[in-house]
Chains A and B, each alone.
Chain A
Amino acid sequence: METIEIEVFRYQPEKGSDPAFQTYEIPLNKDWVILDALNHIKDHIDGSLSFRWSCRMGVCGSCGMVVNGKPVLTCATFLEKFAPGPVRIEPLDNFPVVRDLVIEMSDFLDKLQKVKPWIIREEEGSTEEEYLQTPSQLADYKQYSMCINCMLCYSACPVYGLEPGFTGPAALALAQRYNMDSRDQGNRDRMEALSDDTGMWQCTFVGDCSAVCPKNVDPAGAIQRYKVEGATHWWKTLLLPYGKDR
């Protein structure tokens, strides 16, 4: 059977060794995605290899890695595409590495919190009350709700790489997901949190986040729309200083 070489980024801090690439030769199975290749290595060649995965069908967002320089979901990327090889697999860029292909994601989780990704009501209604929504109101934000928190956009974003404080693509798109939800009233709260030095204005519209997004969320588009909103808000507070609620 045809084989292919896989170069995997290894970092095992408990051994005190420096990060290095380790090469494995595995069968080039046409049905395999990159994640299958990694599982083959772990099960049959080297049990010490660490990586995150769960659903193997592009839903959970755990298996994002950098394959031949590009951030991808390894469960949705076929091995054969890279024949004759070699294929280089690295952890996501812009995050600290815990071990091998596993990254430390707490920074991302903090940023998700910052955008208040839940429905905010000015007054809480009763638990019996329903907030109805038409299909077109759903369509307004549905695209932005498809995010699976895989962090490929953070790996691709050069601004996040240079400015670790930047709120980043997925979190800003998620803010828009709630801002554009007809049931939500938290736009002003979020605007305040995201108009600071680490918010939307740091984005320079490189667009790589949208290019790598496996769910077509288009975070870059979401951020640009948010900027239009932020700029409109800015001009309104300048020109209509007493219209606080506008």
Chain B
Amino acid sequence: MKRRAEPFWWSLFGAGGVMSAMFLPVLLLFFGFAVPFGWIDVPAYEGLRTLLDMFLVKLLLFAIVALSFFHWAHRFRFTLYEGLQLHRFSRTIAFLCYGIAILLSVFACYVMFVL
């Protein structure tokens, strides 16, 4: 079978869809609404920091963020060249979309594991 990249990008897209659908609403509800509106006590900085120092937590957060980028990239790629009829630029669009996702993921990796 001819080796094509499409199943690879689709896997990342699918994984990103699952991750963002499962975890982002909870994170948004918690840090976007519950904490700012004072529905619950603001968690102590040290507590959160300790939690974030755990490798598995870092890995999970990185997976959620990075895979969500790839989810966006794949969807946006098709939106551009089917929605806007930009077939002539399909290679450029794919390069740009996935390129942005890769760059942002590298940045997320840096923030999560190096900083």
Contact = CB atoms under 8 A, between A and B. Distances in A.
Interface string B1-44: 11110111011001000000000000000000000000000000
Contacts of B78: 204
A21 interface: no
Contact of B85 (A159, A162, A231): A162
Interface residues of A, number: 18
B82 A162 contact: yes
B82 A230 contact: no
B7 A231 contact: yes
A227 B10 contact: yes
Given A192-B1, A195-B1, A201 B14 contact: no
Given A192-B1, A195-B4, A231 B10 contact: yes
Contacts of A195: 1-2, 4, 6-7
Contacts of A192: 1
Contacts of B14: 227-228, 231
A131 interface: no
A159 B85 CA distance: 11
A134 B2 CA distance: 36
A3 to B, nearest CB: 42
Interface string A167-195: 00000000000000000000000011001
Prevailing SS type, chain A contact patch? helix
Contacts of A201: 4, 6-7, 10
Contacts of B1: 191-192, 195, 237
Contact of A231 (B3, B11, B82): B11
Interface string A209-246: 00000000000000000011011011101000000000
B81 to A, nearest CB: 9
Contacts of A204: 78, 82
A235 B82 CA distance: 27
Interface in A136-166: 158-159, 162-163
B6 to A, nearest CB: 4
B7 A234 contact: yes
Interface in A15-59: none
Nearest to B77: A204
Nearest to B85: A162
26 contacts: A158-B82, A159-B82, A162-B85, A163-B82, A191-B1, A192-B1, A195-B2, A195-B6, A195-B7, A196-B2, A196-B4, A201-B4, A201-B6, A204-B78, A204-B82, A227-B7, A227-B10, A227-B14, A228-B14, A231-B7, A231-B8, A233-B7, A234-B7, A234-B11, A235-B7, A235-B11
Q: Which 4 A-B pairs have the closest CB atoms?
A: A234-B7, A201-B6, A231-B7, A231-B11
Interface of B: 1-4, 6-8, 10-11, 14, 78, 82, 85
